[in-house]
Amino acid sequence: AQKVTQAQTEISVVEKEDVTLDCVYETRDTTYYLFWYKQPPSGELVFLIRRNSFDEQNEISGRYSWNFQKSTSSFNFTITASQVVDSAVYFCALSEAPNAGKSTFGDGTTLTVKP
Amino acid sequence: GAGVSQSPRYKVAKRGQDVALRCDPISGHVSLFWYQQALGQGPEFLTYFQNEAQLDKSGLPSDRFFAERPEGSVSTLKIQRTQQEDSAVYLCASSVKDGYEQYFGPGTRLTVT
């Protein structure tokens, strides 16, 4: 059974600090997909990144970076030089092939960036 | 282009009433998903469609919940004889295919009194 754990319920940082959001997953499949979504106070979930299980390359997109490590079943998300607009709830999610339509989400990490 | 839309945005129902929640996915998206999100929690999978075929409904909490997507586009989630525990935000999402990123609608907040 697939499971996603986001152990950090809430994180508070001051603007310009770097912050890492942890995501640990459980799966028995060798083919799976990992995602991060952002849910700002307005409520609508926004897609950030998708990774498949065969691609362990880390990715950087502006101030965002992701570290995927199959050895520790982790897919962590780092925001560099955080900004107030980064304040939101961040969700990590997992889909297993072949039933990749069924996604399991973690409970989310609420990030507050203070000015 | 237009994103995923849901209607109504808010719904108040008396216990025992039936409700119907509508989702308009992004045009051309094959896969459509329904989730239930309780306050302070992540979205919980309910069901998903590939075109008009409902491929997985394992997350539907009871036989009072029913979803359809008859023409492979618009979908409706119906809840019969609503109960207080059905109060939640119901999210719809669509994607180009399974395993790809999902685009979410704003949700329908259902309150059962």
| Residues of A whose CB is below 8 A from B44 | 105
Question: pLDDT (tens digit, 9 = 90+) per residue, A65-114?
Answer: 999 999 999 999 999 999 999 999 999 999 988 778 889 999 999 999 99
% of chain B with per-residue pLDDT over 70: 99
Residue A57, both tokens: 């390359």
Give the containing element (helix H, strand E) for A66.
strand A64-69
Question: pLDDT (tens digit, 9 = 90+) per residue, A23-38?
Answer: 999 999 999 999 999 9
B104/A45 touch (CB, cutoff 8 Å), yes or no: yes
| Residues of B whose CB is below 8 A from A108 | 41-42
Which of A50, A102, A106 is opposite residue B56, by nearest beta carbon?
A: A102
